[in-house]
Amino acid sequence: MRRHPIGNGICAPRIPRELAALIAALQLKGATTEGLLELQEHEWESLLKFCDPAHLTLPLAQVAVSGFPLWVGERLKKNLADNAARFSRVETTYREVAAALDQAGVEYVVLKGFTQAPDYVSDVRLRMQSDLDLYCRKEMIVRARDALMNIGYQSEQTIDYSRSDHLPTMIRKGDWQWGGNAFDPEMPLSVELHFCLWNETVSKFPVPETDRFWERRIRRSLVGLSFPDLHPIDHLGFMALHILRGLLAGDWIIHHVHEMATFLHRHAKEDAFWRHWKEAHNDSFRALQAIAFFLARCWFCCDIHSDVQSQIEALPPVQTEWLERFAGSALENMFRKNKDSAWLHASLIKAPHKKVAAIWQAIMPLQVRGIPTIDNPAVRTKNRQYNDLRISNKYIRYVLYISDRTIDHLRPIPALVMHGLLLWLSSRQPRKQFHQ
């Protein structure tokens, strides 16, 4: 790994050459495919292996360039065709789930997935979707779960969901088997029933503005589907929160940030939209969204409206400093774990004891919560990719998994302390002008 400038040059994460090349090709302004054309065979193999779990295969397939290896082009064409065919299953699954919830008298809103079209992705068939995300108010969540159980869905029981925003994932048992194709048209969709739009218990700070999303919800029609959706202003707010949630949790957020950049770029000149955004969302909520906006501009060089720019410039100095220094940490985190987001997290929390709790949670080498059971498929994955250890004994494999996870937690702690000191020292210096 070596450093590659990304976006506007503020963040320069240490990431593999092939990912830097892909990000350069996905820039909303000044995109270049030179890096992709220079990739060797093994780098293409590594890139495609990464792109599937990162949800970047379909964006890569839309890069208009000749000169890719023939096998790469054929693979991407098949992925596009499979995903287009797969949308029929998405439609069928949604209609069946919606009918069950309607019959049970459950009101809900669809989150993410096909609702991202056309603002965040141009076509529903160009977005990977493996589940349905539905938000129900808390008083309806049990009724919604029971309605899905009545049509054959069961709650997944091998993962701890105590820090999730949704009930245990619901799946329908069948005879489908994973065959290595992330876009398999026959692969069934799971359902996640969300009981909140922001989890204050986990994040340790509230976002009360999300309570108003429900009253502003709308109904949309798209490619023959009619569904309840968040108001466009709140849809943007939710996606920004989703990116922030993932950033603080150390999740992979790159495809969400790319979609956010696409939205900002397409709406950069729509004064009426951003005027409504300022009226509907208060200062503190817009400040949280500005963190996601910064990442979108930094990673994918998108145009932004002047109101978005002003909101980024209005961020508190400690958050500005963190973004300037560590905005690339989430990219590095996909390959080598780090805990840089802990300092950003602490800056968002008001209560001192909760700030300490957030840092301590990052320092703790291993938490009992969140450890998969011995038979969970996650035990055989690393960085979201299948890891064939050629070890048949599941107990030995589990011990190796726990050991590897412990090392992943311990290794970043010295850097966490050093970066915290660096931020503290920076806060003692006069502020420089924020990068444009």
Structure tokens at 108: 């809900």
pLDDT value of position 368: 42
The list of the chain residues with pLDDT below 70 reads: 1-11, 365-411, 417, 420, 424-425, 427-436
Answer yes or no: is 119 within a domain: yes
What CA–CA distance (Å, rounded) separates 87 from 124? 8
Q: Which domain holds residue 193?
A: 86-230
Structure tokens at 69: 């290896």
To the question of pTM greater than 0.85 for the whole model, the response is yes
**Does residue 334 contact residue 54 with C-beta atoms inside 8 Å?**
yes
Q: Is 219 helix (H, G, I), strand (E, B) or coil?
A: strand
| Residue labelled with tokens 């050629």 | 390
pLDDT value of position 81: 97
Answer yes or no: is 28 within a domain: no
What CA–CA distance (Å, rounded) separates 298 from 293? 9
Answer yes or no: is 14 within a domain: no
What is the radius of gyration, based on Cα positions, of the chain? 22
**Does residue 42 contact residue 57 with C-beta atoms inside 8 Å?**
no
Residue 104 DSSP code: T
Answer yes or no: is 429 within a domain: no
CATH number of the CATH domain containing 207: 3.30.460
pLDDT value of position 359: 84
Answer yes or no: is 150 within a domain: yes
Question: Where are any strands of DSSP class E within 169-321?
Answer: 170-172, 190-194, 218-222, 225-229
Q: Residue 111 belongs to what H/E stretch? A: strand 109-111
Between helix 271-280 and helix 232-249 the angle, nearest 10°, is 70
Counting the structural domains of the chain, the total is 1
Per residue in 348-376, pLDDT (tens digit) is: 999 999 998 888 888 774 444 455 655 55
Answer yes or no: is 343 within a domain: no
pLDDT value of position 422: 74
